[in-house]
Amino acid sequence: MTSRYMPENWALPALDDRNRAFFTSGRIALQECAKCGTVQHPPEEICHACQGLEFTIREVEGRGTIHSYIVVHHAANHALRYRVPYAVVLIALEDQPAVRIVGNLLNIASEQIQIGMPVRAVWEEIEVDGEILRLPQWEVIEGRHGN
Amino acid sequence: MYRQAAVAGVGESTYYLRGSSPHSAFQLACLAIRSAVEDAGLELRQIDGLVSYLEPLVVPPKLAAALGFEHLDFSAQTWGWGGNGVASAIAIADAAVTASYAKHVVVYRALRQTEKERFGRSAAVPRVRGDYAYTAPYGLVTAAQVGAMQTRRFMHEHRIGQEALAEVALASYAHAQHNPRALKRGKPLTRAMYHESRWIAEPFHVYDCCQENDGAAAVVVTTLERARDLRKRPVPIIAAAQGLDHRDGLGAFNEPRFPTAHYRRVGELLWQRAGVRASDIDVAQFYENFTGCVLMAIAELGFCEAGDVEGFVSNENIQWPTGRLPINTSGGNLAEAYVHGFENVNEAVRQVRGESTCQVDDVDLSLSVSAPGYAPGSAVLFCRH
């Protein structure tokens, strides 16, 4: 995928050691404590369960449900003037129900969005400043929505 | 300490539409503090402590110099994103005077909202860090959008309709019509106007979102004993609380108790310290950043079950003069002025004194609740005796 849901000149993550896997791997790559296995999202500097300082990456299925959503009508700044209205969704992961991920829904109109719809992850590939980002986004799984 | 400190004076500057104050934030703070100190019947030189919250510009050493404080023996501010720290700041002042770190502490907040930096306007693609990296690239950048995401889930879980949000806005606007300080006085809101108004971020209409204003407000806190010798009848601080459950301040909607206004723990502490229950409260000011977040705070503080919140706010139950629990009786952030919630503290004090423009009869317990949805929450309870 090459085009973005948000405008081409809109904000992107600045990569660092903690978020690189999530924003470049093309998988739902979460932070996992190397000592006790606790999964934390967004990634933290220390494990909130055992105060461990070493982390590994846990890759999970890119499947979940819509936990909440908003439809933005007021452009919070200039760069979004021609993008409104747009929807932002909050996804609860099937494999890690305590983890919620913010994204956009690429395959249905905002008026059709309902809490509880099953979704799968897709990736927006964006080249910026010599880096390839793979931004997780979401699609409603066809044939399973509307209930 | 409980019931050992009191508010001795309240004051404010004139409130202005955003960007229209002829004075700087610092000047507005000075005007509000002078007004509060005069209300208390004190001299400026007698003030020896200053407390605020999220106040980067108007700093105590300069204020103390400008206002002629003989000594500045105590200064502090609370942690937090902003409006959630209003009552915590009062609690710090209470602690300072009861522990004798200072005698007369002024708590203040001044705002002058000018053109903010417009994120995303530059030609280069902006890169964002920390928790923000997980939300901003998807177009989620404002407080209203954050509040809308929380509120949508809250409405879904508890089968709450848009009317519940409308009720909060209608109450603030109704009360503002009686208040000469209110910027929305003379601009009444009807239910039809609410529903026909433009969306900011669904489920929030424009009337669900607070104003942006220029202004300042302040109170003088001292010991109850000292306050008894001052000009106005003291308004005792029966209890204050700041509180947060484990991990509930996490970013990007990953709080374990999402959606939460961060008021469950605050309620637990406040009612225990004060020895009263939510149902004992006569009048309450709820910081309205957004109407939906107020509903969440009402439920978390135990005024009703979350599933009953629509009924709790309906049928003018939160409107003066007939409501069971009148809220935001000055017009609050929505319709008096957005002074980062400090106007709600002044109103809570005025309700105990009998000075409100929507005065509830026989007020014994008057509550002021800080911003919902930002961690940690805080609240302060004033009483007559």
CA distances from B354 to A131, B4, B9, B153, B361 (A): 64, 21, 14, 39, 8
Distance of CA B249 to the CA centre of its chain: 19
* Chain A residue numbers touching B201 (CB-CB < 8 A): 70-74
pLDDT score at A2: 56
Residue A111 DSSP SS3: helix
Read off the pLDDT of each residue in B350-378 and give the average, rounded to a whole number: 97
Q: Please, which pLDDT band fits residue A142 given cuts at 50, 70 and 90?
A: confident
User: What is the predicted ipTM?
Assistant: 0.96
State whether A68 and B133 contact (CB < 8 Å). no
Residue B161 resides in a domain:
no
* Closest by Cβ to A70, choosing from B119, B131, B149: B149
Q: How far apart are CA B297 and CA B282, in angstroms?
A: 17
Interface test with B, best of A38, A90, A113, A131 (most B CBs within 10 A): A90
Q: How far apart are CA A15 and CA A134, in angstroms?
A: 11
**Residues belonging to chain A with any Cβ–Cβ distance to chain B shorter than 8 Å:** 5-6, 8-14, 16, 19, 22-23, 41-42, 48, 67-74, 76-80, 83, 85-86, 88, 90, 98-104, 115, 128-129, 135
* Chain A residue numbers touching B259 (CB-CB < 8 A): 68
Residues 6+ apart with CB under 8 A from A47: A33, A35, A36, A38, A40, A53, A55
Read off the pLDDT of each residue in B79-95 and give the average, rounded to a whole number: 93
Residue B245 resides in a domain:
yes
Q: Please, which pLDDT band fits residue A144 given cuts at 50, 70 and 90?
A: low
pLDDT tens-place string over residues B292-323: 999 999 999 999 999 999 999 999 999 999 99
Among this protein's residues, is B287 annotated catalytic?
yes
Q: How far apart are CA A29 and CA A39, in angstroms?
A: 10
Tokens coding B128: 């964002």
pLDDT tens-place string over residues B107-149: 999 999 764 444 434 446 789 999 999 999 999 999 999 999 9
The torsion angles phi and psi of B219, rounded to 5 degrees, stand at -135, 155
DSSP string, B139-197: T--SHHHHHHHHHHHHHHHHT--HHHHHHHHHHHHHHHTT-TT-TTTT----HHHHHHS
pLDDT score at B385: 86
Among this protein's residues, is B338 annotated catalytic?
yes
pLDDT score at B116: 46
Residue B55 · residue B77 · CB < 8 Å: yes
Query: Is residue B79 pLDDT above 90, yes or no?
Result: no
From the list B207, B263, B338, B374, the catalytic residue is: B338
Q: Which residues pair with B128 in a beta bridge?
A: A13
Query: Is residue B325 pLDDT above 60, yes or no?
Result: yes
* Closest by Cβ to B145, choosing from A88, A99, A104: A88
Closest-CA residue in chain B for A128? B125
Closest-CA residue in chain A for B155? A68
Query: Is residue B80 pLDDT above 90, yes or no?
Result: no
pLDDT score at B113: 76
Structurally, how many domains does chain B consist of? 1
Tokens coding B116: 């903010």
State whether A74 and B198 contact (CB < 8 Å). yes
Q: Which residues pair with A30 in a beta bridge?
A: A58
pTM for this predicted structure: 0.96
Query: What are the DSSP E strand ranges found in chain A?
Result: 12-13, 28-33, 39-40, 55-60, 63-72, 86-93, 100-103, 118-128, 131-140
CA distances from B233 to B74, B255, B362 (A): 25, 43, 15
Helix (H) or strand (E) holding B64: helix B60-67
Residue B14 resides in a domain:
yes
Residue B260 resides in a domain:
yes
pLDDT tens-place string over residues B273-287: 999 999 999 999 999
**Strands lying side by side in the sheet with A55-60:** A39-40, A28-33, A55-60
Tokens coding B15: 């409130």
Q: Tell me what the pLDDT averaged over chain A comes to.
A: 94
* Closest by Cβ to A72, choosing from B121, B145, B259: B145
Residue B55 resides in a domain:
yes
Q: What is the residue range of B110's domain?
A: 5-114+209-383
State whether A128 and B140 contact (CB < 8 Å). no
* Topology of the domain comprising A62-141: OB fold (Dihydrolipoamide Acetyltransferase, E2P) (2.40.50)
Read off the pLDDT of each residue in B56-62 and give the average, rounded to a whole number: 92
Residues 6+ apart with CB under 8 A from B301: B263, B266, B267, B270, B278, B369, B379
Q: How far apart are CA B194 and CA B174, in angstroms?
A: 13
Query: Is residue B13 pLDDT above 90, yes or no?
Result: yes
User: To 5 degrees, how large is the angle CA B216–CA B221–CA B224?
Assistant: 155
* Closest by Cβ to A135, choosing from B129, B137, B142: B137
Tokens 């499947």 label which residue?
A: A63
Interface test with B, best of A15, A18, A66, A102 (most B CBs within 10 A): A102
pLDDT tens-place string over residues A57-107: 999 999 999 999 999 999 988 899 999 999 999 999 999 999 999 999 999
Number of A/B CB contacts below 8 angstroms equals: 140
Closest-CA residue in chain B for A47? B247
* Closest by Cβ to A13, choosing from B121, B128, B152: B128
pLDDT score at A147: 43
Q: Sign of the C-alpha dihedral, residues A89, A92, B204, B342? A: negative
* Chain A residue numbers touching B198 (CB-CB < 8 A): 73-74
Q: Where in chain A is the domain with CATH 2.40.50?
A: 62-141
Q: What is the CA radius of gyration of chain B?
A: 20
Q: Please state whether beta strands B49-53 and B105-111 pair in parallel, antiparallel, or not at all (unpaired).
A: parallel
pLDDT score at B117: 40
**Which CATH number does the domain housing residue B256 bear?**
3.40.47.10
pLDDT tens-place string over residues B156-213: 999 999 999 999 999 999 999 999 999 999 999 999 999 999 999 999 999 999 999 9
**DSSP-assigned letter for residue B279:** G
Tokens 């509000």 label which residue?
A: B32
From the list B16, B53, B207, B287, the catalytic residue is: B287
